[in-house]
Structure 1
Amino acid sequence: MRIIVGNVLKKVGIDRAVSYVLFARGWSVFAGLITLYFISHHLTKVEQGFYYTFASVLAMQVFFELGFSSVISQFASHEMAKLAWKDGVITGDEQAKSRLFSLFKLAIKWYGVIAILMLAIVTPAGYWFFNSSYPDSPVNWSWPWIVLVLCTCGNLFISPVIALLEGTGLVADVAKMRLFQSVFSSTAAWLALYFGAGLFAAAIIALVTLCSNFIWISLSKKMFLYSVYISQKSENIISWKNEIFPMQWRIAISWLSGFFIFQLFTPLTFKYHGPEAAGQLGMSFSIANVLSSLAMAWITTKTPWFGQLIASKNFNELDLLFKKVFWQSWGVLFVFVILFTIALLTINYFNLPFAYRLLKPQEFLLILCAVLANHIVFAQATYVRAHKCEPYLKHAIVLAVSIGVSSCLLIKYFDVFYMLFSYFMISVFIGVLYSNYIYTHFKKRRR
């Protein structure tokens, strides 16, 4: 029986790394449902709007990070083609190890600066946005906002360590840590909501995440950190100017564009239609994003191996692996969308109270259809970027302008449905078609 189960799991692409990611994201689905329950019972509709708009405004961290974490992971995976983990430290080719350590030190300096900048800029910017959009709010949101930004900046500072460890092949270890992290942070949020902490629940999630990141890195990776700390300066370093920047600036613009593609909807709705409508939109998008992230586990857990196969110029095996995990992931996402659509129609048919915390079914279905389209783009972009290049720059800009402009105009003069319909149409007829063009032409040029 065990052998049969093992063969079935292998056939659908569930290895150790994927299993941990699925457990973590499966927990996120379960925890998300429980969190939705607590939010709907312990936060008012206005507070719900603030809760989800907090997250969208904090997505402004991409304006500071500029895609560096993605670059870190990809460069680390390429260096690991000549390296290996042994007894908690990295061993192998000295030149590759020196380059990897130099990347780590560069990342720490970079993220230390941007964490301070984000704290100094985003805190007052968010305060101005919420105060000007809803000046007579009965909700106490200012201190929760300040604490949330502070903890988020702390997580931002630690994030390059996590990205580098994933890039060196410790995908399963990081996923396992994130599973426990999600359990602790979700439990803390439920307790906070139950005991009336209100919007401080969002800050508590960020605080528990920060503490768990720090404890895990300090306890389990201290030998690696020490080896990086005592490493001597060498001529074999990764040059930010000559190697990283030519790729990073393209990814940075893509990430900045992503804010306008994925995060602009909730703040716009908050501004023009109030926190209650923003809360419905934010909760709906959070559910859709969970489904998307679950399916992307098949892709993201293979990214380090993509980099190693590319570094070894084993392109045939790379393409076979990508094709396999892409169809596995998209098929899983399609099943998720069908199952959730049935659940959505059911709660609306029986007129359950929770239905009023979400968008109407026709509006939610537009988001789900857009998620199916975006998954194709995410997968193809991950494949191409694993080659340490970024041809998706124009793609991101076109989508950002199209979605950003249409959303601003439609939400101002019409309701949420028209904004989401435009988002869906652009995602399919510009996002997918343009991405497929980039992907196919990239593979032809590579040959």
Structure 2
Amino acid sequence: MLPILKKGLQKIGVDKAIAYSSLARIIQAGGGVLTIFFIAANLTSEEQGYYYTFGSILAIQIFFELGLGGIITQYVAHEVAHLHLDPNNNLSGEIKYKSRLSSLLHLIIKWYLIMSMLFLISVIIFGFYYFSTYGVSDNINWKLPWVLLCISASINLFLSSFPAFIQGFGDVKYIALMRLISQVISILIVWTILLTGGKLYASAFSSLMISIISVIFILRKSYLKIFYSLWNTVISETINYKKEIFPYQWKIALSWISGYFIFQMFNPVLFAYSGAKIAGQMGMTLTAINGIMALTVNWTSTKIPFWSANISRKEYNQLDESYNNTLISSTLVCITCVIVFILCLLTLLHLYEPLYNRFLPLWLSSILSITIIFNNIINIWATYLRCHKKEPFLIQSITIGILSALSTFFMGKYVNVNAVIIGYTLITIFISLPLSYYIFKTKRLEYHSE
């Protein structure tokens, strides 16, 4: 039975890296369903609004990371493609590539250290202003949980550079395993804190546990040896940030920032203009839908180091074969998950309506979930092109970001949540999707002809 299952998984492109990543997302989705019960039982509707709005505000770390995380994996993969890692984790090959890799390590550690500190100060100040202005009740204990969550989130921001670096070596499986274990333990922490009356402290302690697990994995195995060796390598040739990374990064950064206005503005706007209860419903619905997106994205994110290496060696036939398999597999998985989610909501409507009422109405949830299918396809196209160390989606991202931000703000302030979701869906299907397809088709030909 197991060999048959293994063979079936291989046919849809599931390797160990995807298996670990997907299992983490499945646990996140399954654990998320159970967490919904814990939240419904232990948090009021208003506290639920705070719980999910916390996450949306912390997503502004995009403004501090500025897209460097994904760039690290690509640049490391391009350099490692010319080096050899022996069983004892010693790097050999042309010294210039090892030197360039060392300069990249120095750069990202300094970058993330500074940005994580700036992020910490900014989110604490903004959070106190925002929740003090739009908060629904003085009885909700949100201040200390918010501070603790901000601290742990800033630590995680700094630590995120190391897994990105490790993935560039092609060891996607190891990082996927780390995230799997982090997911399991963080969910258990959330449940424990909610059950013991910790309420909004749940997110803070869960985030802190993720930091601890990340440190253990980074120090474990022999990657510490690699980092130490690279850090002490005499740098004779560098990756020039201004000439090589910045021309690419600023485009990625604008795309990622645009992504914040596309995907993360819902909760803060609805919290401010429709109240914590509606924001909580949107947050719980988005949690389920984003879980689907996160699961399907595994098919793409685990391919970044390999696609980058294919491109570095100009192995375009292998690149396109992997891309086609990824597109088909992830799309089928995404559609299946959306159908399952809608069926689950239907089941809740008939069997346990109080929990169903913590989500957006069925028709709104269905419309919102369908956009994930299109966004997943767009993500695959964008990742494929970005592995060429280029960002052709800049104009598209800015355009969709501006349109989505304006739609969400004005529909949220002057109409209601229904208009917010319908506006976002129309923008995704009739503007974002066709524009993205045009960019993919034209730039793919251009890059390979070069």
TM-score > 0.5 by shorter chain? yes
Q: 1:226-281 deviations in whole A, cap 9, x for unaligned?
A: 2123222x221111011000000000000111110000000000000111110010
2:246 alignment counterpart:
245
2:224 alignment counterpart:
222
* Contact 1:17–1:175 (8 Å) recurs in 2: yes
One-letter identity of the residue aligned with 2:33? L
Cα distance change on mapping 1:55 and 1:89 into 2, 3 Å: farther
One-letter identity of the residue aligned with 1:230? N
One-letter identity of the residue aligned with 1:229? W
* Contact 2:136–2:275 (8 Å) recurs in 1: no
Q: 1:395-441 deviations in whole A, cap 9, x for unaligned?
A: 01110111100111111121211110110110111111110010000
* Contact 2:60–2:260 (8 Å) recurs in 1: yes
- Helix, strand or coil at the partner of 1:91: strand
Structure 1 residue 169: Cα displacement = 0.7
Q: Percent identity?
A: 35
* Contact 1:115–1:153 (8 Å) recurs in 2: yes
Structure 1 residue 182: Cα displacement = 1.1
- Helix, strand or coil at the partner of 2:360: coil
1:73 alignment counterpart:
73
Take 2:92 and 2:195, find their aligned partners in 1: how far apart are those partners? Answer: 49
Structure 1 residue 192: Cα displacement = 0.6
Pairwise mapping of residues 190-205 of structure 1 onto structure 2 (< 5 A)? Answer: 190-205=191-206
What is the root-mean-square deviation in Å for CA atoms of aligned residues? 1.2
One-letter identity of the residue aligned with 1:10? Q
Take 2:415 and 2:391, find their aligned partners in 1: how far apart are those partners? Answer: 36
1:141 alignment counterpart:
142
Q: 1:58-92 deviations in whole A, cap 9, x for unaligned?
A: 01111111111111111111112112333234333
Q: 1:131-189 deviations in whole A, cap 9, x for unaligned?
A: 10126432010110011001100111111111111122110000001111111111111
Deviates more, 1:402-411 or 1:213-222: 213-222
2:19 alignment counterpart:
19
Pairwise mapping of residues 170-319 of structure 1 onto structure 2 (< 5 A)? Answer: 170-220=171-221, 221-232=223-234, 234-319=235-320
One-letter identity of the residue aligned with 1:357? R
Take 1:3 and 1:306, find their aligned partners in 2: how far apart are those partners? Answer: 28
1:85 alignment counterpart:
85
1:320 alignment counterpart:
321
Take 1:92 and 1:200, find their aligned partners in 2: how far apart are those partners? Answer: 49
Take 2:242 and 2:144, find their aligned partners in 1: how far apart are those partners? Answer: 40
Cα distance change on mapping 1:137 and 1:276 into 2, 3 Å: farther
Take 1:416 and 1:146, find their aligned partners in 2: how far apart are those partners? Answer: 29
Structure 1 residue 350: Cα displacement = 3.4
2:368 alignment counterpart:
367
Take 1:125 and 1:225, find their aligned partners in 2: how far apart are those partners? Answer: 35
* Contact 1:24–1:178 (8 Å) recurs in 2: yes
Take 2:107 and 2:200, find their aligned partners in 1: how far apart are those partners? Answer: 36
Query: Is 1:420 matched up with 2:443?
Result: no
1:42 alignment counterpart:
42
Pairwise mapping of residues 404-415 of structure 1 onto structure 2 (< 5 A)? Answer: 404-415=405-416
Structure 1 gaps of 5+ residues are none
Deviates more, 1:73-82 or 1:196-205: 73-82
Structure 1 residue 347: Cα displacement = 1.2
Deviates more, 1:365-374 or 1:3-12: 3-12
Q: 1:36-71 deviations in whole A, cap 9, x for unaligned?
A: 111111111111100000000001111111111111
Cα distance change on mapping 1:267 and 1:89 into 2, 3 Å: farther
1:337 alignment counterpart:
338
* TM-score normalised to structure 2 length: 0.97
Take 2:93 and 2:358, find their aligned partners in 1: how far apart are those partners? Answer: 54
Query: Is 1:383 matched up with 2:384?
Result: yes
- Helix, strand or coil at the partner of 2:91: strand
Q: 1:365-423 deviations in whole A, cap 9, x for unaligned?
A: 11111111111111100000000000111001110111100111111121211110110
Runs of 4 or more, structure 1, over 4 Å off, are: none
Pairwise mapping of residues 28-67 of structure 1 onto structure 2 (< 5 A)? Answer: 28-67=28-67
Structure 1 residue 219: Cα displacement = 2.3
Structure 2 gaps of 5+ residues are none
Take 1:70 and 1:328, find their aligned partners in 2: how far apart are those partners? Answer: 22
- Helix, strand or coil at the partner of 1:238: coil
Take 2:367 and 2:256, find their aligned partners in 1: how far apart are those partners? Answer: 23
* Contact 2:76–2:165 (8 Å) recurs in 1: yes
Take 1:89 and 1:22, find their aligned partners in 2: how far apart are those partners? Answer: 31
Take 2:57 and 2:35, find their aligned partners in 1: how far apart are those partners? Answer: 20
- Helix, strand or coil at the partner of 1:237: coil
1:119 alignment counterpart:
120
* Contact 1:104–1:161 (8 Å) recurs in 2: no
Structure 1 residue 297: Cα displacement = 1.1
* Contact 1:363–1:420 (8 Å) recurs in 2: yes
* Contact 2:101–2:230 (8 Å) recurs in 1: no
One-letter identity of the residue aligned with 1:421? I
* Contact 1:155–1:209 (8 Å) recurs in 2: yes
1:156 alignment counterpart:
157
- Helix, strand or coil at the partner of 1:147: helix
Cα distance change on mapping 1:206 and 1:225 into 2, 3 Å: same
* Contact 1:151–1:206 (8 Å) recurs in 2: yes
Structure 1 residue 2: Cα displacement = 4.3
* Contact 1:66–1:248 (8 Å) recurs in 2: yes
Structure 1 residue 357: Cα displacement = 0.8
Take 2:179 and 2:278, find their aligned partners in 1: how far apart are those partners? Answer: 31
Query: Is 1:352 matched up with 2:359?
Result: no
Structure 1 residue 339: Cα displacement = 1.4
Cα distance change on mapping 1:26 and 1:90 into 2, 3 Å: farther
